Amino acid sequence: MSGADPDLVRALGAIVGPRWVKIRDAERRTYEADGLPTHASVPMVAVLPGSKAEVIAIVRLLHERRVAWVARGAGTGLSGGALADAETVLIPLTRMNKILGIDPTARRAVIEPGVVNARLSEAAAPFGLGYAPDPSSQAACTIGGNVAENAGGPHCLKYGATTAHVVALEVVLPDGSLATLGCPQGEPWGPDLVGLFVGSEGMFGIALEITVRLEPVPAAVRTLLADFGSVRAATESVGAIIASGIVPAALELLDQACVRAVEASIYAAGYPTDAAAVLLVELDGTRAAVEAETMMVERFLTEAGARTIRSAETAEARARLWQGRKKAFGAMGRIAPDLVVQDAVVPRSALPDVLDTITEVGRRYDLTIANVFHAGDGNLHPNICYDHRDLALRERVHRASKEIMEACVAAGGSITGEHGVGADKMEYMPLIFDPTSLATMCAVRRAFDPAERANPRKVVPTRYCREWRPEPIR
Amino acid sequence: MSRLILDLLGAEFGVAVTRDPDGLPRVAPRTSDETAAALGLAHRHGWRVRVEGRGTWMPADAPADLVVTTTGLDRIGSIAPADLVATVQAGTPLRTLAAALAGHRTWLALDPPGSPDRSLGSVLATATAGPARHRFGPVRDHVLGTTVATADGRLVRAGGTVVKNVAGFDLTKLQIGGFGGFGIITEANVRLRAMPAARRTAVATGALDPLFHAAQAIVAAEVDAIVIELLSPMVTGSADWRLLVEIAGTEAGATSELARARDAAGDVALMPASGGALGVAAGQAFLEGPVSIRAGALPASLPDIADLVVEELGPGRMSLGPGRGGLRWSGTTSVERIRRLRGLLAHREIPVTLERAPWPIREGAGHFGELREGVAPLSARVRAVFDPTGVLVAPLEGRDG
Ligand SMILES: Cc1cc2nc3c(=O)[nH]c(=O)nc-3n(C[C@H](O)[C@H](O)[C@H](O)COP(=O)(O)OP(=O)(O)OC[C@H]3O[C@@H](n4cnc5c(N)ncnc54)[C@H](O)[C@@H]3O)c2cc1C
Over residues A138-148, the pLDDT tens digits come to 999 999 999 99
Q: Residues B42-70: what's their mean pLDDT?
A: 94
Chain A residues with beta carbon closer than 8 angstroms to that of B185? none
Answer yes or no: is pLDDT of A131 > 80: yes
**Which of B162, B223, B325 lies closest to A413 in CB terms?**
B162
A218-335 has which CATH code? 3.30.70.2190
pLDDT band for position A473 (cuts 50, 70, 90): very low
Q: Distance from A311 to chain B by nearest Cα, in Å?
A: 21
The yes-or-no verdict on residue A51 having pLDDT over 80 is yes
Chain B 314-373, residues with CB within 8 Å of chain A CB atoms? 324-326, 349-351, 353, 368, 371-373
**Quick check: B6 pLDDT over 90?**
no
How confident is the model over B222-250, as pLDDT tens digits?
999 999 999 999 999 999 999 999 999 88
Measured in angstroms, the CA of B152 and the nearest CA of chain A are apart by 9
How much of chain B exceeds pLDDT 70, in percent? 99
In which residue ranges of chain A is CATH 3.30.70.2190 found?
218-335
Most A CBs within 10 A among B105, B133, B139, B166, hence the mutation to make, goes to: B166
- A433 pLDDT exceeds 70? yes
Question: What's the pLDDT score for residue B15?
Answer: 61
CA distance A67 to A61: 9
Interior angle at CA B189, CA B188 and CA B193, nearest 5: 130
Q: Is the pLDDT of residue A468 over 60?
A: no
CA B97 to chain centre: 16
Per-residue pLDDT tens digits for A345-374: 999 999 999 999 999 999 999 999 999 999
Ligand 1 pocket (Cβ < 6 Å) reads A 34-35, 70-78, 81-82, 93, 113, 135-137, 141-142, 144-146, 148-149, 151-153, 201-202, 206-207, 329, 418-419, 455
Contact B154, A436 (CB under 8 A): yes
Q: How many residue pairs from chains A and B have C-beta atoms closer than 8 A?
A: 265
User: Which residues of chain B make contact with A177, given a CB cutoff of 8 A?
Assistant: 374
- Pick A348's closest partner by Cβ from B83, B196, B383: B83
- pLDDT band of residue A467 (cuts 50, 70, 90) is low
Cα–ligand 1 centroid distance for A416 (angstroms): 13
Q: Which of the listed CATH numbers 3.20.20.140, 3.40.50.620, 3.30.750.24, 3.30.465.10 matches domain A99-216? A: 3.30.465.10
- Predicted confidence (pLDDT) at residue A289 exceeds the cutoff of 90: no
Check if B102 contacts A (Cβ < 8 Å).
Answer: no
User: Residue A327: which pLDDT band, with cuts at 50, 70 and 90?
Assistant: confident
Asked whether the beta carbons of A319 and A260 are under 8 A apart, the reply is no
**pLDDT for the residue numbered A42:** 97
Q: Of A233-247, A380-394, A459-473, where does mean pLDDT reach its minimum?
A: A459-473
Across the range A59-78, mean pLDDT stands at 98
pLDDT given at position A470: 54
Residue extent(s) of CATH 3.30.465.10 domains in chain A: 99-216
The mean pLDDT of B122-138, rounded to a whole number, is: 97
The residue of B169, B170, B185 whose CB has the most chain A CBs within 10 angstroms, and thus the best one to mutate to test that interface, is: B169
With a cut of 0.95, is the ipTM above it?
Answer: yes
User: In the prediction, which pLDDT does B282 show?
Assistant: 85
For A419, the closest chain B residue by CA position comes to B166
**Between β-strands A277-285 and A250-255, what pairing exists: parallel, antiparallel or unpaired?**
antiparallel
What is the pTM assigned to this prediction?
0.97
pLDDT of A472 reads 45
Q: Which long-range contacts (CB under 8 A, 24 or more apart) does B344-348 make?
A: B344/B308, B344/B312, B345/B295, B345/B297, B345/B305, B345/B308, B348/B297, B348/B301, B348/B305
What is the CATH code of the structural domain delimited by A6-92? 3.30.43.10
Who has greater pLDDT, A180 or B283? A180
Average pLDDT over chain B, rounded to an integer: 94
Residue A216, pLDDT score: 95
pLDDT of residue A313: 86
Radius of gyration of chain A (CA): 23
Give residue-wise pLDDT tens across range B303-354: 999 999 999 999 999 999 999 999 999 999 999 999 999 999 999 999 999 9
Nearest chain A CA: its distance from B109 CA (Å):
13
Instruction: Place A474 in a pLDDT band, splitting at 50, 70 and 90.
Output: very low
pLDDT computed for residue B230 by the predictor? 97
Residues of chain A with CATH 3.30.70.2740: 336-432
Looking at residue A326, its pLDDT comes to 86
Looking at ligand 1, which atom is closest to the CA of residue A374? Answer: 8
CATH class of the structural domain A336-432: alpha beta
Cα–Cα distance measured from residue B391 to residue B43, given in angstroms and rounded to the nearest whole number: 6
**Angle of helix A287-303 relative to helix B251-265, nearest 10 degrees?**
170
In this structure, the dihedral spanned by the alpha carbons of residues B329, B330, B331 and B334, taken in order and rounded to 10 degrees, is: 70
Q: Which helix (H) or strand (E) covers residue B234, if one does? A: helix B233-236
Q: What is the mean pLDDT of chain A?
A: 95
